[in-house]
């Protein structure tokens, strides 16, 4: 059995038949400031325009609580429990595929997403930008006390992701609009042939 499929049982006139069910999952990642959430929302809009049923989840929205447990500073454990619950509801509504936005530091971390989304066939798309671009975006976005932390985190993650190559598809975002990046992702991933959005 491959990681991207699960075995399910269907019954036809008393005969049990095994079938494989897979859930296409597009995982958009990158360092802080790369534009994961914004680009994932753009991808979602293009999928909607193409009439492709899907759900979009920004994992940060599932981990936003205080205080963090000492053993899980990024609150990943609860985020995955929440993802499993949310996906179950989407699946019950007939949604066949999923777009996620989150920081992925290691390919090994995909195991927890496959646990939360049974049958997940995950395609990792990493957004890349020059460090100067990331820092500029963060200085515009982060107006609170967390700016210094985000600036340091961007530098660390950018270097780490360049080294470890967590992605299946790498997309450079420097000098490109969100719409252009989203179109490139959908074309290269083959989720949509040529999104008809200007």
Q: Please report the pLDDT score of residue 141 as a whole number.
A: 81
Distance between CA atoms of 155 and 165, rounded to whole angstroms? 16
Please state, in angstroms and as integers, the Cα–Cα distance from residue 98 to each residue in 40, 147, 155, following that order. Answer: 11, 30, 29
Q: Are 186 and 142 in contact (CB under 8 A)?
A: no
Work out the angle at residue 24's Cα, subtended by the Cα atoms of residues 49 and 177, and round it to the nearest 5 degrees.
45
pLDDT at 192: 79
* 28 close to 101: Cβ distance less than 8 angstroms: yes
pLDDT reported for residue 195: 46
d(CA 148, CA 171): 26
At 125, give phi and psi (nearest 5°): -110, 120
pLDDT score of 193: 58
Give DSSP secondary structure letters for 165-184: ---SEEEE-TT--HHHHHHH
* Cα angle, residue 41 at apex, residues 83 and 117 outer, rounded to 5°: 25
Predicted confidence at residue 123, as pLDDT, reads 98
Per-residue pLDDT of the chain (198 residues; tens, 9 = 90+): 333 343 444 444 444 433 448 999 999 999 988 899 999 999 999 999 999 999 999 999 998 877 878 787 768 899 999 999 999 999 999 999 999 999 999 999 999 999 999 999 999 999 999 998 888 888 888 777 788 888 888 889 899 999 999 999 999 999 999 999 999 999 999 997 554 443
Look at residues 197, 185, 48 and name the one whose alpha carbon lies nearest to residue 123. 185
């Amino acid at each position: 059995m491959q990681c991207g499929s699960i075995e399910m049982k269907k019954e036809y006139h008393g005969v049990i038949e095994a079938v494989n069910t897979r859930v296409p999952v597009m995982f958009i990642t990158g360092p802080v400031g790369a534009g994961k959430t914004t680009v994932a929302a753009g991808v979602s809009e293009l999928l909607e325009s193409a009439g492709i049923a899907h759900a979009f989840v920004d994992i940060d929205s599932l981990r936003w609580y205080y205080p963090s447990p000492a053993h899980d500073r990024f609150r990943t454990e609860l985020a995955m429990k929440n993802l499993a619950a949310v996906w179950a509801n989407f699946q019950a509504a007939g949604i066949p595929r999923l777009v996620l936005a989150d920081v992925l530091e290691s390919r090994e971390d995909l195991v927890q997403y496959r646990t939360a989304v049974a049958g997940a066939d995950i395609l990792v798309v990493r957004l890349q930008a020059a460090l100067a671009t990331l820092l500029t975006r963060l200085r515009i976005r982060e107006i609170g006390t967390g700016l210094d932390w985000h600036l340091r985190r961007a530098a660390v993650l950018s270097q780490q992701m360049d080294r470890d190559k967590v992605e299946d598809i790498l997309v450079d975002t420097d000098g490109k609009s969100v719409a252009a990046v989203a179109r490139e992702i959908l074309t290269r991933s083959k989720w949509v042939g040529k999104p008809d959005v200007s």
